[in-house]
Structure 1
Amino acid sequence: MKWFEYKMEVDQLHASDELKARLLAMQPKPQPQSTSHTPVSQDTKTKGRAVRFPHWKRWAAGIAACAAVAVVGLQALGPAGSGIDTMSLRSGGAASSTALASAPQMATYGLDMANGDLAARSAAGTESALAGDKIIYTADLTLETKDYEGARASLEQALADAGGWMESSSESNYTGEARTLSMTLRVPEANYESFLEAAGQTGSLVNKYQRADDVTAQYTDVAGRIANLEGQRDRLRELQASAATLSDLLDIEAQLSDVEYQLESWQGQLDWYDDQIASCTVTVTLQEVETYTPTGGSFLERLGTAFAEGWQNFIHGASAVLVLLAGLWPVVLLVAAVVAVVVIVRRRRR
C-alpha cells in the first residue's frame, strides 16, 4: 500500500486525533531513489504486462466461438433433430431423446413436381398464348368541318363498316359557340388502317397521331406465370385428393386458395392485353368551324385566311360584348340614371 493511500484511509477513520497520529508514525518513511539509472531490457518491461486485445478483436473472437459451438451442436443432434414436433416445442414441454427419435416426421406436400414436367407445361402454355408479335395500336385524329351533322353521321357510318364500337363520347354545344365532339372508338386490328383512312375523309384533317406499343415481352411473361400457376394448381388438387390428415388437408387448401387468387389476378392482366391487342383505340375530335385551318398553300392563300379569321374574330367579340350588355341591362340602366342626375345637378349650379 502506498503511503498516500494509507493516509487517505487513516483520514477516513472515525478516531481521535491522537490515534491517527500514532498510525501515521508507524508508517515507514519512503527511501530516496537512487540517481543511477539501470537499463531495463524490453523483455523485462513486457514480461509482467497483461496482453490486451482491441474491442473488435474480442467481439470477433466471441462470435467465432458461438458459431463453433452452434455447428458442433447441430452435428451432434444429427437427423434426429428434424423429427421434433413443432406443437410440443411451442407448448414448452420437454421431450426425451427416445420420444424425439420415435416421433413421426410431419408430412410435407411440396410443389416441386418433376422439373421437366413443370417446365414443359410452362413452355407449352406460353407457346399456345403467343401467335406472333403482340402490338397495341392507338391513334388520335383532329378533324374540322363546316357540316357538323354530316361529318358526325359519316364517322358513325365508317365505324360501323369497320366493325367497331363507341367506348365513350363527349359533346359541347353552347349557345353562340361552335360545337365540338370527342369520341373514343374501338376498332378491330384488322380494320384499323382502313378506318383511319375513312375517318380522315369525313372532314378536314388537322392532326393525326399514331402509336404502336410492342408488349410481346410483357405478354410472354404473364402467359408463363399463368402456365406455371396452373401446373401448381393441378398438383395441389392431386395432393388434396390424397391428403391423410385434417391438418394436411387444411394446409393444402390454404396453398390452393393462394395459387388460385394469383392465377385470377394474372389472368385478368392477360385478358386486358388480349383486349387491347385485338381492338385498337382511336380518339376522334370533331370541331365545327366556319373557316378551315390552313394546312398548306401559298403565302397569299394563308394571308387571305388570316384576314378572314381576323374579321370573324372581331364579329364574334362584338357579338359577345352585346350579349354581355344585354344580360347586364339593369346595371347599365342604373348607371345611366346616376350619370344623368349628376350632369343635371352640375348644370343647375352653374
Structure 2
Amino acid sequence: MDTRDVTLPEIGDDRLEEIETTLFARIAVERTDAAVAAAQTAAQDAERARARAVRRGRVWMGAAAAAAFVAVAAVIAPQLAGGAASTSSVVTADQPASAQPPSLEGDAVTLDGRSFGGADAGGSADVSGSSTDQSREVVATGSASVVADDLRAAIDRLTAEAESAGGYVESVSLGEGAGTAWITVRIPADTLTATIAGLSDLGEVTDTRVDRRDVTTETVDLRARVASLETSVARLQDLLAQSASTSDLIAAESALAERQGELDSLRQQLTWLDGQVQMSSLTVSVSEPAPPEALNPRGFGDGLAAGWNGLVATLGGLVVAVGFLIPWVAVLAVIGLLGWGVRGLVRRRGARSEHTEE
C-alpha cells in the first residue's frame, strides 16, 4: 500500500475547539495538583520546624531548671548542714550514758556522754572581738642603694647602727675588689624609717624602697586557733587522767598527741609572724663611685700621643688578625693545590682519549 495516496480526513472547527478545551483543562488540573503538592510540602516543613523549636525550648527549659536547682542547693546546703550538725549534737546529749561508747570525732573526744577537747566546749576562749581592739599587724621590709667611697667603713657603720638600735646583721657580702657589697640587717620596726634616713651619712643614697604587708587577719586567726587548741589540750589531759579503761586511755592519748603536735606547729608559725612584725628587714647595696672619665686631648702633644696609641693598637690588631688568618690561608692553599692537581689529571686523561680515538 502506498502511503502517499492516503488522504486524512479534515478536522472541523468544532473538533479543534473541543481538543483545545480538553488540553487546557488537563493543563489546569496538573497545575492545581502541583500547587496542592507544594502547599502540602511547605506545611510539612513548617510543622517539622515547629516541632524542632519546641524540642529546643524544652531542652533549654530543662537546662535552666537544672541550673536553678543547683544554685538553690548551693545556697541551702550550708544551712541544712549546720542544722543537721546542731541536731546531731542535741541527740547525742539526750542519749543515755550507757549508749555512748568512747569516740573521737573532729576536735572533740566523747566519753560517757561528756565531750572533752572540743574547740566549742565549755570554757573555750572567746577571741571573736579581739581584732577590733588591737592595732594593725604590719610586716615592713626596706631596701636601699648607697654610693660610698669606702665599702668596708660603710658596712661597719651600718652594722654598728643596727646593733645600737637593738637589731643584728642577718647577712653580709663583701668581696675584695668587687666594688659592691650587700648587707641585710634586722632592726625594730619602729626604727626602720630613721635607719633609712640615716643612710645618707654613709654616702650618696641613690634609691630607697619600703614594702608593707598587713598580716592582722593571719595573726588573729593563728592566735584564735592556738587558744582553742590550748583549751583542747587541757581538756584532753583531764580526760586522760580520768580514763578508766584501756580503750578510753588509747583514744585520749591519740587525740592529745594530735592536738599537741598541731598546737606546737601553730605556735611556731605565730612566733615567726610576730618576729616579722616586730623586726623589720633592711637590705642595703653599697657600691663605690664610678671612676672619672678620661679627658679628651687638648693639645698637639696629647693628639700625638693619642695618634701613636691608636697606631700601636691598630698594628696590634692587624698582627692578631694575620695570626688568626694564617691557618685558614694554609688550609685553603692545600685545598686549592689538590683541586688544581685533580683538574690537570682530568685534562691529561681527556687529551689521551682524544689522541687514541684519532
Q: What TM-score does the superposition give when structure 2 sets the normalisation length? A: 0.49
Higher helix proportion (structure 1 or 2):
2
TM-score (norm 1): 0.50
Larger radius of gyration: 2
